[in-house]
RNA sequence: UGGGACGUCGUCUAACGGUAAGACUGCAGACUCUGGAUCUGCGUAUCGGGGUUCGAAUCCCUGCGUCCCAGCCA
């Protein structure tokens, strides 16, 4: 197999394997299912997809593709109270954004409601299911505990006829919500709680986003999932570790029904430092206004990271390399950022932008004059070409790039020192202008016309190259700089009586309004990703308006100087 | 105190009875018109205790630790 996006990269580094892939290799080798591999990605449409889902998507689609199979997209829509069309739409868009194509058509568990109902009747006829009149509280009491067996429902031995009648009446809407359930008749003494006569159907007079009011009884996950897999001919049904205890039940239904038996295999859920991957908690962040929405660039949702500027390629590389196992681990955020930088470094065009400007006046440059200098768009990609950047007497540079009293390893501009302006000239700082309060308002510099383009004919060297923007042509921009949403590696680690909200990082969003951009940056479209030289990768936010661009910082560049500074401060 | 699963560098993953390997991070250096990128080097790990074996991360026993399960959620 050839990776589609990297023709120059031979398959030198073999795709990392994992235990599921080994199982499939073995199945294919032994001719199980005639070598067919069909997987599925089965989200419940009750929220937005997040990075954890990306791992599952990459696994399912990746494996099927590798073995010449296919992957179904199936919505597990068996709980109408929590599910909405909005979520269906966003999930479809997210899967496509990640770059995967499912086998047509899109499936829904709700497509199988009638078949599931018919199978339930079959189980009733076989004495394998019964209608139970216990309410939720009573059922809990009968279930027993982790250490004590349960006790059978008093309704367990109803006749087949009575069960058939009652179940039909449940379906016909004769009973209120919660009045009765249909339960599988398995083993109330099983050490696995899932096998203690689990509920198959509950009465729910709720409108379903697809089936409307056709049904007032809805199948439970355990009853619907395996059979849905079976109907679709799924060969390998991959899910996360918490479903291990459900596998015996999954197998039980399929076996009792005598239908095609997929194999459920469980793998570890993704955890990321400084990040929460729980739909419930993400929903709370949105509803309580801690973030600006599901697609807030600080959110770990796919909509959020897309807006943040993370690329599908980076996400796929990340997922392919974190591995699949059964260990409960936590990936460091830095690893994700590594893959983002790696991808963007190859592809993002470079521009110059000054986020915290200080004015520089080139004293020996003529007033009112502008010249256009050539700048390389991407040193990593010659085909990206060059562009013109205006240079004039008044410029902006980054405040951090000047220190009146430079510390030992500071190479940038300071009084009397010469540095290079990227793609421009060598300049030397002659004097510093301050206001009455002592704040620096302006740097007076001179330039060397012989260094045009950045080279010195006499061969003299400078230790630093800094970025800059010509004041006259500069575009004003809002730049949103993001930090982690939580200040703790594990946001769930809290003191007694607190919840994860206590760990929200108050500095997760920093809005810079006085950013200065080189003019070429005005031609970009929303979601375009670029590098601001020496600062990081940024992308255009959809909040941008024609006169007022808004950028999001995707991820900062690795910053050796910041590291030195931090270390020195710690001393 | 039931059942299910899992313990390998700081983190994640590999090694399938035969020299514990890779990635990220960290540190040091080279190079550089981005203190970017790239390149080079260095470092740290088999949960504990027994056993089987010529040989154990791997098999067995035992202890310890972590995660999941008592929804008419998925």
Question: pLDDT (tens digit, 9 = 90+) per residue, A461-511?
Answer: 999 999 999 999 999 999 999 999 999 999 999 888 889 999 999 999 999
Distances (CA, A) of A63 to A24, A466, A564: 8, 46, 44
Higher-confidence residue: A5 or A300?
A300
ipTM score above 0.85: yes
Question: pLDDT (tens digit, 9 = 90+) per residue, A275-333?
Answer: 999 999 999 999 999 999 999 999 999 999 999 999 999 999 999 999 999 999 999 99
Higher-confidence residue: A13 or A151?
A151
The strand B neighbours among A residues 143-162, by Cβ under 7 Å, are 143, 145-147
Active site (annotated) includes residue A279:
yes
- Give the number of other Cβ atoms within 10 Å of residue A154's Cβ: 12
Question: pLDDT (tens digit, 9 = 90+) per residue, A397-431?
Answer: 999 999 999 998 999 999 999 999 999 999 999 99
Strand B closer than 7 Å to the CB of A490? Answer: no
- Measured in angstroms, what separates residue A43's CA from nucleotide B65's C1'? 33
- Measured in angstroms, what separates residue A328's CA from nucleotide B48's C1'? 21
- Measured in angstroms, what separates residue A226's CA from nucleotide B17's C1'? 38
What is the model's pTM?
0.95
* Chain B positions with a protein C-beta closer than 7 Å: 1-8, 10-16, 22-27, 33-38, 66-74
The strand B neighbours among A residues 377-396, by Cβ under 7 Å, are 378-380
At a CB cut-off of 8 Å and minimum separation 6, what does A58 contact?
A: A98, A100, A315, A316, A319, A320
The whole-angstrom distance between residue A176's C-alpha and the CA centroid of its chain comes to: 40
The whole-angstrom distance between residue A381's C-alpha and the CA centroid of its chain comes to: 27
The alpha carbons of chain A give a radius of gyration, in whole angstroms, of: 31
Task: Give phi and psi for A413, each to the nearest 5.
Answer: -70, 140
The whole-angstrom distance between residue A24's C-alpha and the CA centroid of its chain comes to: 27
Strand B closer than 7 Å to the CB of A407? Answer: no
Strand B closer than 7 Å to the CB of A542? Answer: no
From A489, A487, A549, A493, select the one nearest A519 (Cα to Cα). A549
Q: Which residues pair with A431 in a beta bridge?
A: A444
Active site (annotated) includes residue A337:
no
Strand B closer than 7 Å to the CB of A74? Answer: no
Active site (annotated) includes residue A269:
yes
Nucleotide nearest to A409 (CA to C1'): B35
Catalytic residue, chosen from A171, A183, A263, A279, is A279
Q: Which residues pair with A183 in a beta bridge?
A: A130, A199
Question: pLDDT (tens digit, 9 = 90+) per residue, A32-51?
Answer: 999 999 999 999 999 999 99
What pLDDT does residue A571 have?
Answer: 64
Given pLDDT bands bounded at 50, 70 and 90, which one contains residue A570? confident
The whole-angstrom distance between residue A532's C-alpha and the CA centroid of its chain comes to: 23
Strand B closer than 7 Å to the CB of A275? Answer: no
- Roughly how many angstroms between the first and final C-alpha of chain A, as a whole number? 52
Q: Is the pLDDT of residue A212 over 70?
A: yes
Strand B closer than 7 Å to the CB of A338? Answer: yes
């Amino acid at each position: 197999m050839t990776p589609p996006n990297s023709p120059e990269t031979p398959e030198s580094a073999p795709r990392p394997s994992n235990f599921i892939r080994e199982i499939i290799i073995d199945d294919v080798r032994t001719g199980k299912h005639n070598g067919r591999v069909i997987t599925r990605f089965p989200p419940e449409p009750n929220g937005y997809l997040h990075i954890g889902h990306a791992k599952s998507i990459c696994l399912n689609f990746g494996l099927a593709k590798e073995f010449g199979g296919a992957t179904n997209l199936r919505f597990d829509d068996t709980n109408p109270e929590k599910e909405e069309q909005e979520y269906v739409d966003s999930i479809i868009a997210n899967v496509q954004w990640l770059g995967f194509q499912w086998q047509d058509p899109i499936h829904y568990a709700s497509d199988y409601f009638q078949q599931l109902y018919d199978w339930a009747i079959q189980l009733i006829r076989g004495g394998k299911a019964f209608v139970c009149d216990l309410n939720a509280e009573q059922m809990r009491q009968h279930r027993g505990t982790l250490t004590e067996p349960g006790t059978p429902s008093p309704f367990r031995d109803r006749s087949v006829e009575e069960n058939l009648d009652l179940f039909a009446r449940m379906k016909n809407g004769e009973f209120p919500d919660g009045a009765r359930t249909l339960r599988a008749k398995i083993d109330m003494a099983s050490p696995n709680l899932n096998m203690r006569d689990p509920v198959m159907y509950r009465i729910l007079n709720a409108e379903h986003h697809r089936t409307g009011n056709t049904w007032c009884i809805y199948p439970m996950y355990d009853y619907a999932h395996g059979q849905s897999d079976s109907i679709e001919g799924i060969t390998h049904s991959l899910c996360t570790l918490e479903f291990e205890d459900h596998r015996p039940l999954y197998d039980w239904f399929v076996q009792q029904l005598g239908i095609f038996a997929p194999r459920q295999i469980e793998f570890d859920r993704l955890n990321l430092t400084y990040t929460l991957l729980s739909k419930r908690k993400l929903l709370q962040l949105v509803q309580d206004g801690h973030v600006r929405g599901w697609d807030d660039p600080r959110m770990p949702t796919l909509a959020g990271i897309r807006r943040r500027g993370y690329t599908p390629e980076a996400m796929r590389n990340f997922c392919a390399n974190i591995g699949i196992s059964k260990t409960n681990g936590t990936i460091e955020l830095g690893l994700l950022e590594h893959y983002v930088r790696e991808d963007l470094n190859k592809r993002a065009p470079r521009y110059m932008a000054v986020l915290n400007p200080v004015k520089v006046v080139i004293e020996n440059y003529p007033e009112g004059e502008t010249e256009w200098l050539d700048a390389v768009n991407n040193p990593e990609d010659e085909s990206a070409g060059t562009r013109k950047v205006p240079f004039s007497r008044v410029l902006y540079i980054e405040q951090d790039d000047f220190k009146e009293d430079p510390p030992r390893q500071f190479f940038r501009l300071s009084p009397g020192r010469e540095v290079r302006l990227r793609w421009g000239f060598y300049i030397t700082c002659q004097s510093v202008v301050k206001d009455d309060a002592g704040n620096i308002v302006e740097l007076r510099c001179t330039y060397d016309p012989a260094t045009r383009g950045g080279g010195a004919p006499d061969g003299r060297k400078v230790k630093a190259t800094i970025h800059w923007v010509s004041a006259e042509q500069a575009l004003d921009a809002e730049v949103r700089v993001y930090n982690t949403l939580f200040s703790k590696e594990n946001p769930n680690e809290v003191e007694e009586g607190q919840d994860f909200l206590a760990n929200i990082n108050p500095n997760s969003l920093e809005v810079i309004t006085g950013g200065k951009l080189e003019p070429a940056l005005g031609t970009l479209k929303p979601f375009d990703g670029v590098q601001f030289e020496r600062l990081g990768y940024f992308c255009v936010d959809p909040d941008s308006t024609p006169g007022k661009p808004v950028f999001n910082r995707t991820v900062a560049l690795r910053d050796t100087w910041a590291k030195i500074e931090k270390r020195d401060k710690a001393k």
